[in-house]
Amino acid sequence: MLKKGEEFFRNFLVWLYVILTVPTFGLFSLIIRKHFWAYIWCMGLLKILGIKVELIKRKELPEGIYIFMSNHQSQLDIPVLEKVLKPYNIRFLAKKSLFKIPFFGWGIKALGYVPVEREDPKEGLKSVLACLERIKKGFSLIIFPEGTRSPKGELLPFKLGGFIIPLKSKVPVVPVSIWGTRDILPKGALWFRVSSRKKVKVYIDEPIETKDLSGKEKEKLSQLVREGILRGFEILKKEEEVK
């Protein structure tokens, strides 16, 4: 009973936080220290929910420019990745429709997030060019190759469009595995089930070099990324079983 009471209280605080801060942070991000406000907002969200994030790395990842490719289980993936990938100056790819939301859309546009429209080839080309421009400016990117959140947690088939970016830019790709966010906020839910889980785990695999891959090897790169994410699943699953 206490757990349910705590869960209700945390959900009340989270939605109050969202309503009060999204307009403010959206406007602040237009003016000063753009990405700083996104990071602060995400950390506030995780703090209110009482969620801890545990990071496991296959090997130490030096600072630099990367394209991180992660599984996607929940909207919570975004603040979790903001937390663990802060040193890499990250920018997300996001659905174009999100940029039309007042305040929120203005904020993510100011933050340098890249709008994605998969149904229109011309818009898709614009997205690729925008990503290449972000990389030239020193930003790392985060791509969810599944293209949507997985409702049951399994790794969905990949959309190959996003793999053009590392093959064009020759930037290393880093597979990332997230475990636990779906238990808290599954696809379609608005209620954070924080009584079910308080810790989320992230596994970062070693970089996949793209320098020797041709622009036509999207399938090969896709398979390498898939193997890296699934390897992370196995490691995180074993961690869960031990504890």
Res 44: pLDDT: 93
Which residues in the chain belong to E strands, given as ranges? Answer: 52-57, 67-70, 90-95, 114-116, 140-143, 173-179, 199-204
Give Cβ neighbours of residue 185 (< 8 Å, ≥ 6 apart). 74, 75, 76, 191, 192, 193
pLDDT per residue as tens digits for the range 12-53 = 999 999 888 877 766 665 666 567 777 888 899 999 999 999
pLDDT per residue as tens digits for the range 79-90 = 999 999 999 999
Res 24: pLDDT: 72
- Per the prediction, the chain carries an average pLDDT of 88
Cα Rg of the chain (Å, integer): 18
**Of the candidates 197, 193, 154, 192, the residue with the CA atom closest to the CA atom of residue 54:** 197
Which has more confidence, 202 or 95?
Answer: 202
Strand partners, 141: 67, 91
Greatest alpha-carbon span in the chain: 57
Which band of pLDDT confidence, cut at 50, 70 and 90, is reported for residue 238?
Answer: confident
Whether the pLDDT of residue 1 is over 50: the answer is no
CATH class of the region 2-242: alpha beta
Break the chain into its structural domains and give their ranges.
Answer: 2-242
| Percentage, residues of the chain above pLDDT 70 | 91
Distance CA 52, CA 200 (A): 6
Please report, for residues 9, 54, 106, 181, 198, the alpha-carbon distance to residue 46 in angstroms, rounded to integers and kept in the order given. Answer: 14, 13, 22, 11, 10
Which has more confidence, 205 or 147?
Answer: 205
Res 59: pLDDT: 86
pLDDT per residue as tens digits for the range 110-136 = 667 888 877 777 778 888 999 999 999
Whether the pLDDT of residue 69 is over 50: the answer is yes
Q: Mean pLDDT lowest for which of 1-10, 134-143, 208-217?
A: 1-10
pLDDT per residue as tens digits for the range 140-155 = 999 999 989 999 999 9
Distance CA 182, CA 75 (A): 9
- What is the distance of C-alpha 196 from the center of its chain? 22
Bridge-based pairing state of the strands 52-57 and 114-116: unpaired
